[in-house]
């Protein structure tokens, strides 16, 4: 006998016993009140009628209850599996599979968050210097390893509330929440020095030195994400032109003043 059958039988027996006791109580009380005799037929009726009726009815009801419970359990399990699949799908679509950072489609909308008057975020664009030479000398697997290590360095050198994304290829973005240019420069320099001093491409006779160039731009209230990206991109290009392994905010002030002016 299966556990399910045992549960149904046990519950049916309990209900039947209760029905027998109740029938005896009601029948004998009524007979005494009406001064009717209590004979052997009364005992038979009070015993077998609840068994003949109560057992089948109880078994049917409890069987249906077990079926409903099994269905609910299956639905709950299916819902949990569906939610887990949805969470995995959401993570895959919003994160870069190699580094685990935010994807471009998830990172850019975060730049458009509503800011209070006078509140300002800062965008950093980080790009490895001479990255193609790593792939050429050491292979694409070492290039991927380098990107993963840069991603870890960005997570290590930023705050929990900041957003970090891989914007495409070897370019990374960091959105520093409620941080202005002066503090952002300090953070960017810390990122640059941390990456420059890190161990890279182990196990190679001609180890490669990895550095990054960083361009930054403030994001005042009302600024457009694409305009900020272009401003930070110009600063990144300036850092590359001036020798790489540099942080540049050269164009950000004038550029964003013009942006804010067009918005008002």
Residues marked active site are found at 170
CA distance linking residue 92 with residue 94, whole number of Å = 6
Domain ranges of the chain: 3-94, 104-263
> What does the pLDDT read at residue 257?
47
DSSP string, 166-202: EEETTEEEEEETT--HHHHHHHHHHHHHHHHTS--ST
Please report, in tens digits, the pLDDT of each residue of the chain (264 residues total). Answer: 788 788 878 888 888 888 888 888 888 888 788 777 877 777 877 788 878 877 888 888 888 888 898 889 889 998 988 888 887 777 777 889 899 999 999 999 988 877 777 788 999 999 999 898 888 888 888 889 889 999 999 999 999 989 999 998 999 999 999 999 999 999 999 999 999 886 654 544 455 678 999 999 998 877 788 889 999 999 999 999 999 999 999 875 444 444 444 443
Best CA proximity match to 133, nearest among 122, 143, 125, 120: 143
Question: What is the CATH code of the structural domain delimited by 104-263?
Answer: 3.30.70.270
Q: How many CA atoms lie within 13 A of 262 on its CB side?
A: 8
């Amino acid at each position: 006998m299966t556990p399910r059958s045992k549960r149904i039988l046990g519950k049916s027996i309990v209900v039947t016993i209760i029905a027998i006791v109740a029938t005896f109580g009601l029948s004998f009380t009524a007979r005494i009140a009406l001064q009717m005799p209590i004979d052997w037929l009364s005992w038979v009726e009070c015993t077998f009628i609840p068994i003949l009726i109560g057992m089948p009815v109880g078994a049917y009801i409890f069987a249906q209850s077990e079926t409903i419970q099994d269905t609910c359990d299956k639905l709950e399990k299916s819902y949990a599996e569906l939610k887990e699949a949805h969470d995995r799908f959401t993570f895959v679509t919003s994160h870069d599979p190699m580094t685990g950072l935010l994807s471009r489609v998830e990172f850019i909308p975060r730049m458009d968050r509503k800011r209070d008057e006078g509140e300002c975020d800062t965008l950093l664009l980080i790009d490895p210097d001479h990255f193609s030479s790593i792939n050429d000398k050491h292979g694409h697997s070492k290039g991927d390893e380098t990107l993963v290590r840069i991603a870890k360095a960005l997570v290590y050198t930023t705050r929990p509330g900041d957003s970090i994304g891989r914007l495409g290829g070897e370019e990374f973005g960091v959105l520093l929440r409620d941080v202005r240019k002066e503090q952002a420069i300090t953070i960017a320099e810390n990122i640059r020095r941390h990456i420059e001093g890190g161990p890279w491409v182990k196990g190679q006779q001609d180890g490669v030195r990895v550095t990054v160039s960083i361009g930054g731009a403030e994001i005042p209230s009302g600024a457009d994400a694409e305009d900020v990206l272009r401003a930070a991109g110009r600063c990144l290009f300036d850092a590359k032109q001036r020798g790489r392994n540099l942080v540049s905010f050269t164009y950000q002030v004038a550029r964003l003043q013009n942006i804010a002016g067009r918005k008002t």
